[in-house]
């Protein structure tokens, strides 16, 4: 039966196969998450942000724009949410680089560092309420997703 279904599918015109595939394929939103450390300190503090309505702290992150390079999107989100400017080439992909969440979101994860003492943090007060540096051994209450994601990379309370 399965073989017959494949034969029928591949006998269809290319544009019809493409439309059918798009119709039945799962859809995912793709985002970028930044894990930024203080470049001037060994095991340096971690940059975290607090957004409404969450009471916990999270990482600078957001959805990629259509056809946007993930490193470019990560650098854009970092700047928009914290005021920290990093060249996309200065971001290192996490290993693994993509984390698939059950809710249909795929996050690409990027690591970077900046000198905290010489980096001004700026937030808009709407999308992001606060941005601050926290020592790894003294993190504030984290959002569930942030704690789980950091734990995958051996950072924080879920490491």
Q: Has residue 6 got a pLDDT over 70?
A: no
**CA 57 – CA 60 distance, rounded (Å):** 10
Structural element, H or E, at residue 62 = strand 61-63
Across the range 66-91, mean pLDDT stands at 96
pLDDT at 132: 97
Residue 110's nearest CA partner among 57, 70, 65 is: 70
Domains of the chain: 27-152 (3.90.79.10)
- Average pLDDT over every residue of 24-46: 89
Quote the crossing angle between the two packed helices 14-24 and 2-11, to the nearest 10°: 130
Average confidence score pLDDT of the chain: 90
What are the Cα distances from residue 106, in Å, to 32, 46, 63, 70, 147?
8, 22, 9, 11, 17
pLDDT of residue 119: 95
pTM: 0.83
pLDDT at 57: 97
The pLDDT confidence band at residue 26, using thresholds 50, 70 and 90, is: low
């Amino acid at each position: 039966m399965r073989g017959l279904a494949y034969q029928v599918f591949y006998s269809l015109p290319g544009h019809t196969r493409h439309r059918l595939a798009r119709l039945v394929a799962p859809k995912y939103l793709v985002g970028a998450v930044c894990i930024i450390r203080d470049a001037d300190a060994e095991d340096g503090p971690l940059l975290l942000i607090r957004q409404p309505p969450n009471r916990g702290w999270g990482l600078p992150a957001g959805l990629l724009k259509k056809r946007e390079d993930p490193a470019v999107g990560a650098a854009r989100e970092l700047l928009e949410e914290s005021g920290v400017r990093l060249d996309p080439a200065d971001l290192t992909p996490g290993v693994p680089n993509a984390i698939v969440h059950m809710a249909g979101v795929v996050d690409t994860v990027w690591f970077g560092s900046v000198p905290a003492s010489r980096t001004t943090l700026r937030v808009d007060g709407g999308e992001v309420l606060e941005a601050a540096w926290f020592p790894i051994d003294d993190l504030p209450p984290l959002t569930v997703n942030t704690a789980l994601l950091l734990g995958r990379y051996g950072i924080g309370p879920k490491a």
